[in-house]
Amino acid sequence: MTAERIPMGRMFIDDEMLDAAHRILASGQWIKGPESKAFGAEWAEYCGALGGTPCSNGSVALIAALHALDVGHGDEVIVPSHTYIASATCITMVGANPIFVEIEEDYYTLDSAAVEAAITPQTKAIIAVHLYGQPIDSDIFEIASKHGIPVIEDSAQAHGASLNGQRVGSFGDIATFSFFPSKNMAVGGDGGAILANREDLVQRVSTFIDHGRLDKYRNDVLGTNFRLSEIQCGIGRIQLKHLDGWVARRNEIAARYSVAFADLEHIKTPKVRDGAVHAWHQYVVRVADRESFCAHMNSMNISTGIHYPIPCHLQPVYADHSQGSRGSLELTEAVCDDIVSIPVMPLLIDEEVQRVIEAVVSWTP
């Protein structure tokens, strides 16, 4: 009998979430109510930020963050190319120019030396991505501070991660999160949040996502509707109660993988930065022959993913970019050529974790 397929993710739904959805529907207040206010405050408190505002998704959170920092035409924003495309296209959407920089070979996040080398008089912001749940090098914040450049923490994959006891989302001027269903916590659909760590940005961000207004018919600044519904905020509040346990389970699974794969010469396992609690949104290995590896895992009825096969600077949308040709970011391109993700979701049972281990160990390129 064929074993049930192990997916990359599973939805968590419990009675408390269902009850919250029914309660909020029955209340008749579906937007701009107590749930969104409470969720923003609770998420900010959890991360250690000054203030928080839920919004419709992680991509618009980045656009709102750039607007809050007055980034626009003629400006440059430093960003890694090894990330989801939304980390780069948000820059283009506000009329600025993304400046793609290299990553660290061990951690797959922004290389601090590359960031400093890329700074010019036109640099208006840095988008620092905590990719896969790995906190970025704290040196980046020191470099940014030295040059007077604000940092946006793209924390879409780093819910619950920390560095030296400080939670991701509390380091930069602004932090953005995604609550897409595949993320470490979710809201029952698309969703996101913006955290502010400067007093002058707290109100500005929350105003921007609600048409730039402080009262119903007065619009003080340019804004639009990036709000999140009350139902989703209510679900997010419940999911937040489980987040620490889920991150702990992800770390438990990742530790089992790293021990089991340590002596496999044809597989490179991910490392964890000193002082970091990795959120393990993805457990990403580098393999000698990705096509063969994925075919093998598929034959064992185990799903895999590639996050991400095409670096941003080589995406068709950036074909006319000055860095839009192969060879401009050699390490990033090499990493994107051989990475593959294996299941690390917290709802894996121990028997499934063991199946994944046995399948990976049994593969030979």
Give residue-wise pLDDT tens across range 165-218: 999 999 999 999 999 999 999 999 999 999 999 999 999 999 999 999 888 889
CB atoms within 10 A of CB 128: 28
CATH number of 242-362: 3.90.1150.10
- Whole-prediction pTM: 0.97
Mean pLDDT of all residues in 357-364: 97
Tell me: the pLDDT tens digits for 294-349? 999 999 999 999 999 999 999 999 999 999 999 999 999 999 999 999 999 999 99
Which helix or strand (DSSP H or E) is residue 155 part of? none
Residue 203 has what pLDDT? 93
Numbered ranges of CATH 3.90.1150.10 in the chain: 242-362
Tens digit of each residue's pLDDT (9 = 90 or more) over 270-294? 999 999 999 999 999 999 999 999 9
Give pLDDT, residue 220. Answer: 87
Strand partners, 225: 210
Residue limits of CATH 3.40.640.10 in the chain: 15-238
Q: What is the pLDDT of residue 1?
A: 54
* CA dihedral of residues 130, 131, 135, 138 (deg, nearest 10): -60
Whole-number pLDDT of residue 214: 83
Record the tokens describing residue 232, joined without a space. Answer: 């989703």
User: Each residue of 45-99: pLDDT tens digit?
Assistant: 999 999 999 999 999 999 999 999 999 999 999 999 999 999 999 999 999 999 9
Strand 51-55 to 162-163 pairing: unpaired
CATH topology of domain 15-238: Aspartate Aminotransferase; domain 2 (3.40.640)
